[in-house]
A and B are shown apart, each in its own frame.
Chain A
Amino acid sequence: MGKDGAPSYFTTRLEEFVNWGRKNALWPLPFGTSCCGIEMMASLCSDYDMSRFGAEVVRFSPRQSDLLIVAGIIVSKMAPVLRTVYDQMGDPKWVMSFGACASSGGIFNVYSVVQGIDTILPVDVYVPGCPPAPEGVIHALMRLQERVAKGETYSQRREVAARHQKSLG
Chain B
Amino acid sequence: MREDWLMLIAELKSRFTSMVEEVRIPGEYSTDVPIFYVKKEGILDVLQYLKTVSGSGYEFLSDITATDEMGGEEKTHRFEVVYQLFSHQRKSRIRVKVRVKENEEVPTAVHLWNAANWAEREVWDMFGIRFSGHPNMRRILMDSRWKGHPLRKDYPLRGYQIFPTPEEPDPKLLE
A80, A110, A114, A119: the one within 8 Å of B166 (CB): A80
Tell me what chain A mostly uses at the interface: helix, strand, loop, or mixed: loop
CB-based contact B164/A111 at 8 Å: no
Given A77-B141, A80-B167, CB of A119 within 8 Å of CB of B155 = no
- B162 interfacial contact with A, CB 8 Å: yes
Q: In the complex, which range does the number of interface residues on chain B fall in?
A: 10 to 19
**Residue in chain A with minimal CB distance to B159:** A111
B161's partner among A76, A83, A84, A109 (CB-CB below 8 A) is A76
Question: With A111-B150, A111-B159 as given contacts, are A120 and B164 in contact (CB-CB < 8 Å)?
Answer: yes
B165 contacts across to A, CB distance below 8 A: 80, 83
Residues 133-175 of chain B: 1 if any A CB is under 8 Å from the residue's CB, otherwise 0? 0000000011100000010000111111111111100000000
Query: In the complex, which residues 95-153 of chain A have their Cβ closer than 8 Å to any Cβ of chain B?
Result: 109-112, 114-115, 119-120
Given A111-B150, A112-B150: A79 in contact with B158 (beta carbons within 8 A)? no
Query: Quick one: which of B155, B156, B158, B163 contacts A76, CB cutoff 8 A?
Result: B163
- Checking B141, B159, B163 against A80 with a beta-carbon cut-off of 8 angstroms, the contacting residue is B163
Q: Among A79, A111, A119, find the residue whose CB has the most chain B CB atoms closer than 10 A.
A: A111
B162:A81 contact, CB within 8 angstroms: no
The interface size of chain A toward B, counting residues with CB under 8 Å, comes to 15
- Nearest residue (CB) in A for B142 is A77
- A109 in contact with B163 (CB, 8 Å): no
A77→B143 contact, CB < 8 A: yes
Q: B160 to A76, Cβ gap below 8 A?
A: yes
A111 touching B157, Cβ below 8 Å:
yes
Residues on A with C-beta less than 8 A from B142 are 76-77, 112
Question: A115 to chain B: which residues have CB within 8 Å?
Answer: 160
Contact of B164 among A77, A80, A109, A110 (CB under 8 A): A80
Query: CB-nearest residue of chain B relative to A105?
Result: B160
Question: Given A77-B141, A77-B143, A80-B167, are A120 and B150 also a contact pair (CB < 8 Å)?
Answer: no
A2 to B157, CA, bound (A): 67
- Residues of chain A within 8 A (CB-CB) of B150 are 111-112
With a 10 A CB-CB cut-off, give which of B141, B143, B162, B167 has the most chain A CB atoms: B162
Chain A residues near B143 (CB-CB < 8 A): 76-77, 80
A77 to B140, CA, bound (A): 11
A109 touches B141 (CB 8 A): no
Q: Provide the B108-133 mask, 1 if CB < 8 A to any CB of A, else 0.
A: 00000000000000000000000000
Given contacts A77-B143, A109-B157, 16 further A-B contacts (CB under 8 A): A76-B161, A76-B163, A77-B141, A79-B164, A80-B143, A84-B166, A110-B158, A111-B150, A111-B157, A111-B160, A112-B142, A112-B150, A114-B160, A114-B162, A115-B160, A119-B162
